[in-house]
Structure 1
Amino acid sequence: MQINWSVRELDVFLSLSQTLSFRRTAAQVNLSQSAVSGVITRLEEALGVRLFDRTTRSVQLTGAGQVFADQALLMRTQTDEAVRAVRDVAELQVGNVRLAAMPSLAATVVPMACARYRLRFPGVQFQIFDSLSGPAFDLVRAGQVDFALTAANPAYTDLDYTPLAEDGFVLLIPPGHPLAAARGPLRWVDIANLTHISMPLPTSVRQYADAALLQHRVRFAPVYELEHLASITAMVASGLGVAALPELAAAVAPMPGVVRRRIVEPDISRPIGLVTRRFRSLSPAATALVAMLREEMARLAPATARPVASGEARKPIKSRVNP
C-alpha cells in the first residue's frame, strides 16, 4: 500500500467526517465540492477501502472511515505539536547551547553575555566548558559543544574557524610607577627592559608578547611567570612588575589603582574566533548567543577588541597557540 497524502487532505477528510456534508466541508476548507470529492476519492484509493457511504441525501462514515478519522485526528495533533516544537526552537522559546571558551573569556565575556541571554531567552539552557584550545577543539569535534571561543585557528579539515574580534595588548602598570602617569599608548621597545610578569610558554599571551619584541630584535625575558591571570594582576598591583596582556585577559581580575596603557609598534592583536564543525550550522539559540558574545567583547575592551568582518585580513602569529 502506497501512502501519499498531505496534511491538507487530512484536514479535508476530518472536516467531512464532522460535517457529513460535502457542501459545508467545501465552505470550511475553501474548495469546490468536486475538489472535496476528489480528495476523498484519492484517500480511499490510497487506503484501498471506502471511508464514506454516500448517497444523494446523506454521507456517513464507514467502520474503516471511523478508524481512519481517529488516527487522522491523532496525526494532525502530532503534526501541530511538531510544528509548535520547531517554532519554539526557531523563536528561542526553548533550546540548549553548549560552548567551550578559553579561560580569559570564560571569566569575563561569557558570564556577562550568558546573564543577558538568560534574561532575554529564559527557556534556553546552556552549558559552559572552561577549556584551552586543544581540548576545546576535541569537544567541538566530538559534538559535545556547539562551538568554542579560542585564540587559535585549528588547522583541521573537519573544523571551521570564523574570526570574531581582535584583542589588542595593554600594559598593566602598578600604582605609583612612573609610566602610570603617562598619557597615550606605549611602545613595545620602550617597555622591553621593565620587570615583566607574564604567562609561561606555550600560552598565546606569552607567544604574542615574544613575537612583538622579536620585531625589535629583543628577547622577551619575564622575571616572573604565572599561569593564572588573577595572580599576575595581583603581583602588578603589589608593585612587583608590569604585565603585557590582551585587554580581555587584563579584564579577568581588575585591581584598584592598576593602570592600563595600550601597547603599539607593533600594534599586534590576539585574534578571537569561533570554532565549529564543518558543514554544521549553528542553531538559532547558539547564533543568538554568539551575537551577544560579540557585543560583550566590544563592551569590555572598547579600545582594542574590535569586531572582525567576514573575510577581513588580520595579523596572526603563525603558530598553534593555547590561550
Structure 2
Amino acid sequence: MMINWSSREIDVFLVLAETLSFRRTAERVHLSQPAVTGVVGRLEEALGVKLFDRTTRQVQLTGPGQVFLEQAQRLRHMTEEAVRAVREVATLQVGQVAMAAMPSLAATVVPRAFARFQAQHPGVRLALMDTLSDPAFELVRAGRVDFALTAANPAYADLDYLPLASDGFVLLIPEGHALARSRKPLAWADVAQLPHISMPLPTSVRQYADAALLEQRIRFSPQFELEHLASIKAMVAAGLGVAALPEMAANVGPDEGIVRRRLREPDLRRPIGLVTLRGRSLSPAAQAMVDLLREAMSKFARP
C-alpha cells in the first residue's frame, strides 16, 4: 500500500486528536474547517479505516484512530529529533572532523588550528593522523579521514586537490659555520657540495631538493638521510652538515644552534593542498576546520 501524506497532514491529525473539535483545529492550524475535513478524509482513505467518529455534537477517536495517534506522536518525535540532530551538526554543536596531515604540518600549523577550533566548537571531536602523502591519499579514499593536507597532487581520478598555500626553502646551517655570518639568500648551486642532511625518497622534501639541484646539473647526494625533522635539526646543530627544508618543515622543533638562510636560484616553493574525495562535500565542521587551517597557513601563502 502506497502511503502519501505530508507532515502537515500529520500535524492536523494530531491537533484534531487533541481538541476533538474541527473548529478549534481549523483555528490552530490556520485552515478552514472543510480543509481540515479534507485532510482527515485523505488519511482515512489512505489507511482504509475510520480515524474519528463524528456526530453533530462530538468527535471521538476510533480504536484504529487511537493506534494511529500513538504512532503519529512517535513519528512526530522522530522527525523533531532528526531535525534537531541535523541542526546541531550544521551549527557545529556536535560532529567529528578527522584529517591527515604531513608530519611537518601536524607538528606546526595543525595544533594551533585545532586549539582554536576546539575553543570555538567544544562539542565537535577532532582526530589527526600524521603521515606522508601516499598513505594520506589512501585514508581519504577509504573514508577514514574527511580530508588530507599534503604537498603532492594525487594522481587519482577519484580525488580532488585544492591548493591552499606554499612555502619556500631555507637552508639550516650550524651557527658556527662560515655561511652563517651573512644574512643574504644562498643559491642552491653554492651549497650543493656541502655535507647535506636530508629526508629519504619518496618524501616531498627530498624530491624538491633533487629537482632543485638537477636544474643545476648536480646530482644530490646527502651525507645523511633521516626521516624525522627533529633528528635532522639536531644533526645540523651538532655541526654534522646543513639541511635544505621547506620553511614549515624547518619550524618543527627549536632552532638552537642553527641559522637559517633563504635558498634561491631556483626559488622553489612547495605547494600545500587539500585532498578530498571527489563528489563528496565536506561537513560544516570539516569546512570550518579547513578555513582555520587556511588562515593559519596564510603567512606562507602563495597558492
Instruction: Tell me the distance in 2 between the aligned counterparts of 1:44 and 1:139.
Output: 52
SS of the aligned residue for 1:274 comes to strand
Instruction: Tell me the distance in 1 between the aligned counterparts of 2:8 and 2:254.
Output: 62
C-alpha contact (below 8 Å) 2:132/2:203 kept by paired residues: no
Instruction: Tell me the distance in 2 between the aligned counterparts of 1:32 and 1:186.
Output: 83
Instruction: Tell me the distance in 2 between the aligned counterparts of 1:11 and 1:184.
Output: 75
Percent identity over the alignment?
71
C-alpha contact (below 8 Å) 2:166/2:271 kept by paired residues: yes
Instruction: Tell me the distance in 2 between the aligned counterparts of 1:104 and 1:274.
Output: 15
Gaps of 5+ in 1: 309-323
C-alpha contact (below 8 Å) 2:174/2:180 kept by paired residues: yes
* Cα distance change on mapping 1:23 and 1:237 into 2, 3 Å: same
1:199 corresponds to which residue? 199
2:36 corresponds to which residue? 36
SS of the aligned residue for 1:205 comes to helix
2:186 corresponds to which residue? 186
Instruction: Tell me the distance in 1 between the aligned counterparts of 2:278 and 2:177.
Output: 49
**C-alpha deviation, 1:307, in angstroms:** 5.2
C-alpha contact (below 8 Å) 1:109/1:296 kept by paired residues: yes
SS of the aligned residue for 1:287 comes to helix
Instruction: Tell me the distance in 1 between the aligned counterparts of 2:35 and 2:254.
Output: 73
Aligned residue identity for 2:301: R
- Shifted more, 277-286 versus 251-260: the winner is 251-260
**C-alpha deviation, 1:51, in angstroms:** 1.0
Alignment of 1:1-323 (within 5 A): 1-298=1-298, 302=299, 305-306=300-301, 308=303
RMSD: 1.7
- Shifted more, 80-89 versus 204-213: the winner is 204-213
C-alpha contact (below 8 Å) 2:185/2:264 kept by paired residues: yes
Number of residue-to-residue matches in the alignment: 303
Aligned residue identity for 2:227: E
Aligned residue identity for 1:92: L
Instruction: Tell me the distance in 2 between the aligned counterparts of 1:297 and 1:228.
Output: 22
Instruction: Tell me the distance in 1 between the aligned counterparts of 2:58 and 2:22.
Output: 10
Aligned residue identity for 1:280: R
- Shifted more, 175-184 versus 46-55: the winner is 175-184
**C-alpha deviation, 1:229, in angstroms:** 0.6
Instruction: Tell me the distance in 1 between the aligned counterparts of 2:75 and 2:223.
Output: 71
**C-alpha deviation, 1:225, in angstroms:** 2.2
Gaps of 5+ in 2: none
Aligned residue identity for 1:108: T
Q: What are the superposed Cα offsets for residues 227-251 of structure 1, whole Å, 9 maximum, x if unpaired? A: 2110111122223222110111101
Instruction: Tell me the distance in 1 between the aligned counterparts of 2:156 and 2:182.
Output: 44
Q: What are the superposed Cα offsets for residues 63-82 of structure 1, whole Å, 9 maximum, x if unpaired? A: 11111111111100000000
Q: What are the superposed Cα offsets for residues 127-164 of structure 1, whole Å, 9 maximum, x if unpaired? A: 22222222222222222222222112221112222222
SS of the aligned residue for 1:195 comes to coil
Please give the TM-score of this superposition, normalised by the length of structure 2: 0.94
